[in-house]
Amino acid sequence: MEAELQALITAAAAKMGAPDVLALLSSAPAGGGAKPEKGERRGDRGVEFVVPVLGGLAAEERDALLPQVLRALRPVVDAAFHRLTSPRAAPPVTPVGLLVTLHNFNIAATGVPMKKLTDAVGYCLENKAVFSSHVMREALDTMSKAAAEPGADGKGKRGLPLLFMRTVILAVQGYPELKQYIAVTLLPRLVQQEVWTQPRAWDGFVRIAKIMGTETGATSFIALMLLPAPQLREVLKTHKGIKELLKSYAAGVIKVDPAVKEVLGM
């Protein structure tokens, strides 16, 4: 184990009064130990000792260690997330905060493989007792609103996180109670933010349009009706099966943009 990591864990364990962790640390190999697993770095070895003392770390210390946790083996990641989000008087991080942090992760800067990051988000979505529909909605709401904020360089918009639309698709599939929110609030908001200017996000939007285009009740039609004609034409070209359904929906709408009518052949 790297000396810096061992010192950090030792201090946190002592602060929390965790003698078992201190005893284990005393027998841990120094200098990195065995050869790292795929996706790990040598400095990541021993990060499993962080899990029992996560609650004793300051926020900045925890955030600095998160890349190492994510690069660890799945059991370590699962245990760390369970510790971070388990019910307690003052949890180190909220479930919403953890989801937002994972989506805003800088892959290039941290060296966390994309597969590790998607697995981490997947773990969250699998644990609905902690990551409930309310948590998911708040996280999606937070990230979508932040997308309209100025970018880090002060130019342009911040934009949607890389994994955002993937998570929305998983939310549609795994949280049926969120479909109304996604249809009425989230997708129209993304149209207002000109989601088509972000190619990967736009691809995800088009996929959701197809998935929700055949739904009864909460459909993607509200958002599709707000699209400019070129983007609507692109969606309909990609998913021809929803054109007639959208046309029927538009027939019951009081005010329809003439350009949309033209695309729909009304």
52-70 per-position pLDDT tens digit: 777 667 777 777 778 888 8
pLDDT at 27 over 70: no
DSSP assignment, residue 37?
Answer: P
Mean pLDDT along residues 140-147: 94
The 10 Å Cβ neighbour count of residue 106 is 9
Instruction: Name which residue leads in pLDDT, 182 or 34.
Output: 182
Mean pLDDT along residues 84-109: 78
**Beta carbons within 8 Å of 253's beta carbon, 6+ residues apart:** 225
Confidence (pLDDT) at 23 = 44
Mean pLDDT along residues 231-256: 84
In which band, very low, low, confident or very high, does the pLDDT at 253 lie, cut at 50, 70 and 90?
confident
For residue 194, what are the CA distances in angstroms to 151, 155, 233? 15, 16, 15
Three-state SS for 157?
Answer: strand
Instruction: Name which residue leads in pLDDT, 7 or 56.
Output: 56
DSSP assignment, residue 44?
Answer: G
Closest C-alpha to 179, from 216, 145, 142, 207 = 216
End-to-end CA distance of the chain: 69
Q: Which position has the token pair 């197809």? A: 210
Closest C-alpha to 232, from 254, 264, 200 = 264
In which band, very low, low, confident or very high, does the pLDDT at 89 lie, cut at 50, 70 and 90?
very low
Angle separating helix axes 59-71 and 114-126, nearest 10 degrees: 110
Strand partners for 230: none
Confidence (pLDDT) at 9 = 54
In which band, very low, low, confident or very high, does the pLDDT at 10 lie, cut at 50, 70 and 90?
low
Three-state SS for 164?
Answer: helix
DSSP assignment, residue 29?
Answer: P
**37-46, 65-74, 92-101, 104-113: which range is least confident on average?**
37-46
Q: Are 168 and 181 in contact (CB under 8 A)?
A: no
**88-97, 115-124, 155-164, 254-263: which range is least confident on average?**
88-97
Which tens digit of pLDDT belongs to each residue from 162-217? 999 999 999 988 999 999 899 999 999 999 999 999 999 999 999 988 888 776 55
What is the distance between the alpha carbons of residues 103 and 34, in angstroms, rounded to a whole number? 31
Three-state SS for 137?
Answer: helix
What is the distance between the alpha carbons of residues 71 and 47, in angstroms, rounded to a whole number? 10
Mean pLDDT along residues 146-171: 85
Instruction: Name which residue leads in pLDDT, 152 or 119.
Output: 119
